[in-house]
């Protein structure tokens, strides 16, 4: 992530909060439980930055139950998001 004041992702505050959470709690189950919501929020923020259209499609199509068509569209959106994320990972 970039330096303070130069955050292009909009995720800097979450990254800082997660780092502070890790400093407050030692490694282990307590840290995992205490920091879980921040870890998830930061991951979602970064994925939304890297793959905005795909992550929005997953949020929209997979947010609740629905028809067979909606479930199928949700699965396709999840696959598209997975492909997008994979395309941004180093080989």
CA 2 – CA 13 distance, rounded (Å)? 12
Give the global pTM: 0.79
Model confidence pLDDT, tens digit, residues 1-38: 444 445 677 999 999 999 999 999 989 999 999 999 99
pLDDT at position 7 is: 67
First to last CA, the chain: 20
Q: What's phi and psi for 67, nearest 5 deg?
A: -70, 170
How many Cα atoms sit within 13 Å of 62 on the Cβ side? 15
Residue boundaries of the structural domains of the chain:
10-50, 52-91
Determine contact, residues 21/1, Cβ cutoff 8 Å: no
């Amino acid at each position: 992530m970039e330096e303070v004041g130069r955050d292009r992702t909009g995720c800097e505050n979450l990254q800082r909060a997660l780092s502070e959470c890790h400093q407050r709690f030692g490694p282990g189950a307590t840290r995992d439980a205490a920091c879980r919501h921040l870890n998830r929020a930061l991951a979602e923020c970064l994925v939304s930055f890297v793959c905005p259209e795909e992550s929005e499609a997953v949020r929209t199509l997979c947010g609740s139950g629905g028809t067979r068509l909606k479930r199928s569209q949700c699965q396709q959106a999840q696959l598209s998001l997975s492909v997008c994320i994979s395309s941004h990972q180093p080989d």
